[in-house]
Amino acid sequence: MKLRKGRRISTVGIDDVDKGIIDLLTVNGRATNQEIAARLSVTPTTVSSRLNRMEKQKIMKVVAVTDFAAHGFNVIMAIGVRVAGRPVMEVAQALAALPEVLSVNITHGNHDIEILVVLHDFEEVSVFLNEHIRLVPGIEELSPGLAAEIKKYEFNIAPL
């Protein structure tokens, strides 16, 4: 698999213990090395060394992820952006600076950029589109889509 500026990501060197550690931390990011070790029938030292190795090799990292709904964000929007008259990267950087924007992806297809946005309520949608996004120079067209129902919400970068 190829991600991020041509760097190859490989699961070579990841065994069942590594996968087990990742799976357990995905379910409970606060699990201790002792809890993980007990579930996988290995020592806490093994868990610790495996975590350190996987983080150094950039196979995984443990991070806290906030739940946007718990912070009062009730609207999710995916917005396709077509750019004209300005480099796509500059527009992407301007969009990334907006606090409501969770992710910015440069794409190939009907849109040059796709962004994921969270807002508190539907009243903010018009303000965000008309007073924030539309003011970014270089945006030719927007294709917003509101999330009506969330079927999957995961932060795993790549399945193992």
Same domain, 87 and 128: yes
Tens digits of residue pLDDT in 57-82: 888 877 776 666 677 777 889 999 99
Task: Name the 3-class secondary structure at 50.
Answer: helix
Whether residues 47 and 98 share a domain: the answer is no
* Nearest partner of 83 among 143, 2, 5, 145, judged by Cα: 143
| Residue appearing with tokens 């129902």 | 149
Whole-angstrom distance, CA of residue 113 vs CA of residue 33: 40
Give the pLDDT confidence of 25-56 residue by residue, as tens digits: 888 888 999 999 999 999 999 999 999 999 99
Same domain, 74 and 52: no
Residue 85 lies in a domain: yes
Judged against a pLDDT cut of 50, whether residue 2 lies above it is answered with no
Residue 137's domain spans which residues? Answer: 68-146
pTM: 0.63
More confident residue, 141 or 9: 141
